[in-house]
Structure 1
Amino acid sequence: MIAGGRSAGARVACRTAGELGAAAVLALSFPLHPPGKPEKSRADELLGAGVPTLVVQGGNDPFGRPAEFPADGAYELVEIPFGDHSFAVPKRADIGQDEAVKRITDAVARWAGMLGA
């Protein structure tokens, strides 16, 4: 079983993976910190999942841009360029919304396949 969620649901999935017996966690738009408050990091929740974890994060997510995540290798991080917390990309972006969704689904499918799921 893969536990997963988006935003607050991603936090819950990380916190409960062990007690659920999950083999992995899928964290979509993990809220690393409240917008504008990087000092209130929630990295411990992410790092404490204890199972393989995939984080899919928008490049412009105010709850934590990919470069703000800890670089300890306890999870895999996939950036959706220009994406916000909902993975919406602005019309002026180098990729369209359909491409953003494709990158999300491709990353999840590849990762789940590596797990044997």
Structure 2
Amino acid sequence: MGRVSQSLEILTARGPARVDFDPPAGPPLSLLVLGHGAGGGVDAPDLLALRDAAVAAGVLVARVTQPYRVAGRRAPAPAGHLDEAWRTVVAELRRRHPGPALLVGGRSSGARVACRTAAQLAADGIVALAFPLHPPGRPERSRADELATGLPTLVVNGDRDPFGVPRPGPGIQVEVRPGEKHDLRRDPDAAAAVVLDWLRARGWAR
């Protein structure tokens, strides 16, 4: 802990986004771009735990704050605006770091944005933390189709998540954390270890 991230602003059509990035000690094996939840930020416990574990394993981690949050608003922007800003930011990060594998992801709303845009961005894989399968109490409004990207995807959800738990599918691996709710706050280091194992199995981390 005690890590000091570097930060930069990237201008999008929806206003400036902020990127906090942490490079590994040597050449990165992958670039992992992470988005935040609808009402939260990039300092969520699970995102910080994943950052620390991934950077130590040779991954360049970039955490993206959407323009609406940079502007001080808590209410999330429409999905189309989120996707547009995200595509601009990830494309710029890819331009700056063209070599390593590109992985996109995030928690909750950020995971949805990553899934919806991953194919357009030519991502190699997706890391979805606390993917909100449906609104609480509304299982009929499933968002499972957003996970069907055709790309290698890891989903990490708690078994007590009121937003539901996705099911595995072609290319979709689902890891369910016992006792965890939507915030994955009970043991974020364990959730990060699950992601790290998945990255290592594909040569995206040491």
TM over 0.5: yes
Measured after TM superposition, the shift of residue 71 of structure 1 is 4.2
Deviations 1:35-79 (A, max 9, x none): 0000000000012x22100000011000013xxx33434311111
Q: Structure 1 54/71 Cα, relative in aligned 2: closer, same or farther at 3 Å? A: closer
Contact 2:168 2:174 in 1 (8 A): no
Match of 1:26 in 2: 127
Measured after TM superposition, the shift of residue 103 of structure 1 is 1.7
Q: Distance in 1 between matches of 2:169 and 2:103?
A: 22
The gaps in structure 1 that reach 5 residues or longer are 89-96
Residue-pair matches, total: 103
Match of 2:108 in 1: 7
The gaps in structure 2 that reach 5 residues or longer are 1-101
The alignment status of 1:74 with 2:171, answered yes or no, reads yes
Q: AA paired with 1:75?
A: I
2:163 to 42, 56, 63: 63
Superposed CA RMSD in Å reads 1.2
Q: Greater share of strand residues, 1 or 2? A: 2
| Divergent runs of 4+, >6 A | none
Match of 1:50 in 2: 150
Task: Classify the secondary structure of the residue corresponding to 1:34.
Answer: coil
Q: Distance in 1 between matches of 2:172 and 2:154?
A: 6
Q: AA paired with 1:111?
A: W
Q: Distance in 1 between matches of 2:114 and 2:105?
A: 5
Q: AA paired with 2:181?
A: D
Q: AA paired with 2:122?
A: G
